[in-house]
């Protein structure tokens, strides 16, 4: 279909971790997608380099439970250290290596849940959309905040 025949543009926007969770493994269908390979991991403790590595897997079968959505939880997920008195300042690097650590602090074993995504065949509608339409895989918010505000950005 040429652009001249296009009757409109539909944009499907998702929130939070949903790109890697829902579309990360679609890289197997289209290597151009900035998805996952299975080599990505978070340490269970970001302060211990010998800590257990939780690799991003393809075993999602459900959506809940989610990683935390509070400011404190998001801060730890993004900056890999818990929010605290010494957390303010511009010297922090956004590594996004704190997802497993933050999830495990909420519930033992939750790190394994949040560090998984869906295989393409488990989400056939998403699979078809990815195969037929463009995927924007480099879309980031300019500020790390809780879920509600992202819906207004």
C-beta neighbour count of 55 within 10 angstroms = 14
Cβ count within 10 A of residue 45? 13
3-state secondary structure of 43: strand
Instruction: Enumerate residue ranges in the chain where pLDDT < 50.
Output: 1
CB 141: neighbour CB atoms within 10 A? 10
Cβ(103)–Cβ(110) below 8 Å: yes
Two tokens, residue 90: 């511009």
Alpha carbons 109 and 52: distance in angstroms, whole number: 12
The CA distance from 133 to 125, in Å, is 12
The rounded percent of the chain whose pLDDT value lies above 90 is 48
Handedness of CA 91, 142, 139, 35 (dihedral sign): positive
Instruction: State residue 125's pLDDT score.
Output: 93
pLDDT of the residue at 2: 55
């Amino acid at each position: 279909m040429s652009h001249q025949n296009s009757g409109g543009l539909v944009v499907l926007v998702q929130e939070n971790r949903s790109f890697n969770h829902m579309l990360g493994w679609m890289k197997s269908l289209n290597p151009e997608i900035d998805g996952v390979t299975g080599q990505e991991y978070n340490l269970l403790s970001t302060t211990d380099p010998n800590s257990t590595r939780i690799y991003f897997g393809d075993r999602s079968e459900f959506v809940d439970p989610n990683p935390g959505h509070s400011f404190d939880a998001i801060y730890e997920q993004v900056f890999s250290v818990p929010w605290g008195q010494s957390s303010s300042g511009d010297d922090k690097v956004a590594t996004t290596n704190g997802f497993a650590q933050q999830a495990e602090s909420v519930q033992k074993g939750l790190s394994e849940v949040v560090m998984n995504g869906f295989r393409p065949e488990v989400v056939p509608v998403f699979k078809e959309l990815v195969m037929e339409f463009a995927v924007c895989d480099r879309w980031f918010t300019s500020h790390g905040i809780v879920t509600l505000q992202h819906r207004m950005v």
